[in-house]
Chain A
């Protein structure tokens, strides 16, 4: 049981570079989420998906894009990284209707220099 797997775990980017963070879940969950966590703050929602082929904006979507081409994968893209995007990124998933069934990945620590 892998649960929610995030890759990579660490990454350093230069300003203006692009990258994609991958979130994979093997629990057949419909809902998937991307959050960012900054020091002294709670997690803030970037984008989410309620099923394969769907995406929606969260609280802080600017500068990010997402895709959910397969049910088990949720990709977060940074087209032109900025220092303000230095953060720890968490992916989560849950089954439909089960608000208690949240499972988080272990996080990706991204530094933009």
Chain B
């Protein structure tokens, strides 16, 4: 079946630290995306990254489609990076989400 698996489930960092979040996805998933859900519940697109590498400020993402995984890198983390990070991929017309990585950045 369709699977999008994320690790780690929880991550606690000190402000300024770097982190890597991982997403593994099954064969039937494509057009991978990363989202951030802030502590107020709002979901924001971070990256649309079916393959390759993209960077946006302190965040970057890499998807290796042939090996069915994607990585989200957060450098020099800030308290405002706290929240839940989801990866999601398409199967036909709908998008399936992983369970998320809850990131807490402490000052």
Please report A residues at the B interface, Cβ cutoff 8 Å.
Answer: 31, 33, 35, 40-45, 48, 50, 56, 58-59, 88, 90, 92, 99-100, 102, 104, 106-107
Contacts and interface: CB of A to CB of B under 8 A. Distances in A.
B94 A102 contact: no
B43 A104 contact: yes
Interface string B89-105: 01001111111100000
Contact of A42 (B48, B50, B93, B98): B98
Q: Is the interface of B mostly helix, strand, loop or mixed?
A: strand
Contacts of A92: 43
B4 interface: yes
B107 interface: no
A42 B86 contact: yes
A14 B62 CA distance: 46
B14 interface: no
Contacts of B41: 88, 106-107
Scoring A41, A43, A48 by chain B CB atoms within 10 A of each residue's CB, the highest score goes to A43
A90 B88 CA distance: 15
Contacts of B90: 99
Interface of B: 4, 31, 33, 35, 41-45, 48, 50, 86, 88, 90, 93-100
Nearest to A103: B45
A113 to B, nearest CB: 21
Given A42-B100, A48-B94, A100-B45, 11 more contacts: A31-B93, A33-B94, A42-B4, A43-B97, A44-B97, A50-B93, A56-B93, A58-B94, A88-B41, A102-B35, A107-B42
B95 A45 contact: yes
Nearest to A40: B99
B100 to A, nearest CB: 5
Contacts of B42: 104, 106-107
Nearest to A49: B93
Contacts of B86: 42-43
